[in-house]
Amino acid sequence: MTIRKGNAALIISFILAAVIVIGIIVLLSGPSNIIMGKVKSLPNFFGLDREDALLTAQQIGIIVKIDSINDNNLPYSIIVKQNPLPGKSLTKGDIIYLTLNNKELNKFAIPDFRNMQLNDVEKEIGKLGLVLGEIKKAENKSLEPNSVISQMPAPGTIIEKGDKIDLTIASKPKIDSRIKIPNVKGKYYTAARKILIDRGFKVLVRYKINIEYDFDLVLDQYPSAGTNAKKGTTVTIYVNHEE
């Protein structure tokens, strides 16, 4: 069968035109995974970082919504979940949902625990994933016992889960059971002894001689008057005695 030259040229022209049209369609459709606006097979986003995931989605014409979790058992800063799963067929403009394992979620500003009771603070620290560190006690008259006076780090400091929190809590001020030793100088022995015993002190008598004062008069005392001492402390009185 003989094909004329004119007919052969026409056939070749049609073939070239078809190739060009197909090429234009492919170029307009984007990557080979996309045919006429359809995503033939959704790529696998697992393991991509945020930027690569967004770039891949942009190339195939789909919309991405990314949320974050914090999971110590998985690598950080990569996509760990996607929906729909890889291989699904989508249309350009469809939405896929990705989950990024974000270490930054571990960081937050520490709350103000001051004036809170220690038991309540311990519960809050546990909920936040923090560790209770050193607890110091300090006497405080204005706060209830076991109320938090101060904390370290200070409120508002940016910390991470697992960080230690040191607390200073209030304790009852110690009651000073000491009382002032009364002044018995110039009193006669019997009266001086009664005053000291009535206040809870023991009495030790020593004698001095001073002819300028009456006998049995207390010339001196130790500890001196006004000294704070516990009940039961021995007070020595120096009584004027005749030779």
Evaluate whether 110-171 and 179-240 have a shared fold.
yes
Query: Given this model, what pLDDT does residue 18 score?
Result: 57
Residue 3's pLDDT is 47
Across 200-213, average pLDDT: 92
The helix or strand, by DSSP H or E, that contains position 150, with its residue range, turns out to be strand 148-152
Cα(180)–Cα(228) distance, integer angstroms: 4
Please state whether the predicted TM-score (pTM) of the whole model is above 0.85.
no
* Residue 154 reports pLDDT greater than 80: yes
Determine what percent of the chain is predicted with pLDDT higher than 70: 84
- Percentage, residues of the chain above pLDDT 90: 58
Domain 27-104 grouped into CATH 3.30.10.20: yes
Mean local confidence (pLDDT), 12-37: 54
Cβ distance 167 to 111 under 8 Å?
no
CATH topology of domain 179-240: Trypsin Inhibitor V; Chain A (3.30.10)
pLDDT at 131 over 70: yes
Q: Is the pLDDT of residue 24 over 60?
A: no
* pLDDT at residue 130 tops 50: yes
Q: Read off the pLDDT of residues 59-79 as tens digits, 9 standing for 90 and up.
A: 988 999 998 888 878 888 899
Residue carrying structure tokens 């994933």 = 129
On the question of pLDDT at 29 being above 60, the answer is no
Tokens 């369609």 locate to: 25
pLDDT band at 6 (very low <50, low <70, confident <90, very high): low
Contact 77, 102 (CB under 8 A): yes
Query: Where does the pLDDT of residue 21 fall: very low under 50, low under 70, confident under 90, or very high at 90 and above?
Result: low
Query: For 223-240, what is the mean pLDDT?
Result: 94
Whole-number Å distance between alpha carbons of 83 and 81 = 7
Which CATH code for domain 110-171?
3.30.10.20
Q: Which pLDDT value is given to residue 79?
A: 93
Which position has the token pair 């049609």?
A: 14
Q: Where are the domains of the chain?
A: 27-104, 110-171, 179-240
Average pLDDT, the chain: 86
pLDDT for the residue 26: 45
pLDDT at 1: 47
d(CA 60, CA 82): 16
> 223, 192 in Cβ contact below 8 A?
no
